Amino acid sequence: MLTRLTLRWRLTLLHTGVFLVVGALVVTMVYLQNRIVITRVGEVPATGVGPVQGGRTEPGAVDLLDAISLQRDDAIGTILLQWISALVIMTVLVGLLAWWVTGRVLNRVHAITSQARRISTDNLHERIAMAGPDDELRELADTLDDLLTRLDGAFSAQSRFIANASHELRTPLAVARTTLQVGLASTDPERVQVVREDLLRNNERCIALINGLLTLARGEQGGHRPAPVALDEVVDEAVGEAVAGAAPKVLVDRLEPCVVAGDQVLLAQLVRNLLDNAVRYNVPGGEVLVRLTGNGHLTITNTGPVVGPEDAERLFEPFYRGAGRTGEGAGLGLSIVRAIAASHGGRATARPLTGGGLAVEVHLPARVAVS
């Protein structure tokens, strides 16, 4: 039955019921104490009852005791009636007060609910932004605002992923279709072999593009569970992989022990992307220099082509390579680096070097720094 009532009614009945029970206990205790006290009023000791005739009290004394007893009963009854009336009146007043106070409190809840209902995927940028005292309801509103912020970021990342995927996959799919239509029109075995190789290469590009987009979306969304990660070990392993297959020299200038809180898989992807970008966009016989300090400052520089100051920041945009930066990559490497760094509470920047090359710096908040 009570479950069908509104929260305001349930809280009002709860407060009123608690007051009624406590008030009834107080009235009962006071009534019993008054009854004991009043009962003792007018009692006549056995030695002072008056003359006794034949072992009986005189008639006048009996009438006096009866009158006193009636007055005591009347006083006790009057007190009980007054306390019960007071309890009823106070219960009604407490109920009305509880209804008013509960309504005042729930008005803020209604404001949160109303604002939350107005927010949809079309206006996720709006927030509840509740004003007022810093209490539990304000904390609830702030928590919902944080949730909306995360949802807004997730929807934005999803929209960018869909837009980037549809835009970038259009070209390789069109190439694959043209290759099939033109190349397979001939039955020449050599021609079929060329078409096969072109399709495999195009398919690998599509797979690399999709993997890059997924990594970018995951980095932008965040939501990973932070765990202690030895960043120096991650960098050392990635450098070992890069040295094994890189034409430019990959050198370690400094590699200090450093522990950060984050996702080890994403951090490894960040370092690999930095090294792959430094190796890919380099000059013949160039070098890649790696430096990691104990406070979470990772710097990777290369001796690549000249990069203009206006292009340095744009290199973090998806699919932007900049003038003179050509290659087989999807153009997502540095975008993924910045997204992963941001999801770990850090930042990624790039600055051109004099004479050519680029220095990419990633600052991650170190939990434990060892000098």
pLDDT band at 370 (very low <50, low <70, confident <90, very high): very low
pLDDT tens for each residue of 184-212? 677 777 777 888 888 888 787 777 777 77
Residue at token pair 């006290």: 37
Contact 291, 284 (CB under 8 A): no
Q: Which CATH architecture has domain 136-221?
A: Orthogonal Bundle (1.10)
Q: Where are the domains of the chain?
A: 2-47+56-118, 136-221, 227-369
pLDDT tens for each residue of 290-325? 999 999 999 999 988 888 877 888 888 777 666 555
| Residue 103: predicted pLDDT | 87
Amino acid found at 213 = L
Contact 334, 348 (CB under 8 A): yes
| Beta-strand runs (E) in 29-145 | 52-53, 56-57
| Residue 325: predicted pLDDT | 53
pLDDT tens for each residue of 53-89? 445 555 566 676 677 778 777 888 888 888 889 899 9
Contact 335, 317 (CB under 8 A): yes
Q: 232: closest CA among 255, 261, 260, 263?
A: 255
CATH number 3.10.690.10 given to 227-369: no
Residue at token pair 């710097």: 299
Q: 344: closest CA among 234, 271, 267?
A: 267
pLDDT band at 329 (very low <50, low <70, confident <90, very high): low
| Residue 310: predicted pLDDT | 79
pLDDT tens for each residue of 163-177? 767 766 777 778 788
Mean residue pLDDT across the chain: 80
**How far apart (Å, rounded) are the C-alpha atoms in residues 119 and 122?**
8
**How far apart (Å, rounded) are the C-alpha atoms in residues 23 and 84?**
9
